[in-house]
Amino acid sequence: MIILNITYIPTVFSKIFSDAFNFKAIFGSIAGSSMMYGIKRGLYSNEAGIGSAPNAAASADVSHPVKQGLVQMLSVFIDTLLICTATAFMCLSSGVEPTEELSGAPYVQEALSTFLGRYGYHFIVFSLVLFAFTTLIGNLFYVDTNLAYINGKVPSKKFMVCYRILAAVIILFGTVQEANLAWNISDLLMGIMAIINLPTILILGKKAIDCLKDYEKQKSSGKNPVFHYKDIGITEELDFWK
């Protein structure tokens, strides 16, 4: 769709930069609020810095943690910079102007319909359903693994059934609430996760750098990097990365 509307690309860039460097927006604090809004919504796409993505990354079977770390870094680029930017270009190059009534998913549907017709509406609905479903499955997996870690073993079947019923009730509750309430609750919880996780990242930063140096050292010597925690000065006995 972007290729078909390639003639609109200069106009798209002009609109992006004119809005970004609009002095009225800057001095009216609109730029700051837009940036904050973008950061908050961006977290839903890449989960950078809030400590949830490592739950999925840790399940990968790799010989060195830096390998998976590099994949996670790339995923942030693909999710946010590539996919989100492509979506923005697709919408802006469609010729459809967003309004107060036509925003969010309906705006994307309207933009895509200029290329796919009525199928554009169905495609976005299908994509949103698939995204919501896979997100729920992913987050329930996070909870399962964390409950097993906190408990020291997989909780009893009765406990897991009760937890899953409670999770289903919470999900159902969210579906019947106003969108603003759901977003506000999610933003609050995301903020709490970031406040807890960011200091932890700083504390563990040196170990992460040591891991990277160990990876680069093995890579430069022509080896397939294999990680042993004692190689970076970890003296505590661990049950992994031996």
Alpha helices, DSSP H, located in the chain: 9-20, 23-27, 30-46, 53-57, 65-76, 85-92, 105-116, 118-151, 157-175, 179-220
Q: Residue 67, by phi and psi: left (phi above 0), alpha (psi -120 to 50) or beta?
A: alpha
How many other C-beta atoms lie within 10 A of the C-beta of residue 50? 20
Per-residue confidence (pLDDT) for residue 26, from 0 to 100: 56
**Rounded Cα gap, residues 136 and 173, in angstroms:** 14
**Rounded Cα gap, residues 98 and 175, in angstroms:** 25
Between 99 and 5, the more confident residue is 99
Q: Letter for the amino acid at 164? A: R
Residues shown for the chain? 242
- Name the maximum alpha-carbon separation found in the chain: 62
Per-residue confidence (pLDDT) for residue 154, from 0 to 100: 85
pLDDT one-digit tens code per residue, 122-174: 888 998 899 889 888 888 888 888 888 888 888 888 998 998 999 899 888 88
pLDDT one-digit tens code per residue, 22-70: 655 555 555 566 667 777 777 777 788 888 888 888 888 899 999 999 9
* pTM for the predicted model, two decimal places: 0.73
pLDDT one-digit tens code per residue, 67-88: 999 998 888 888 878 888 888 8
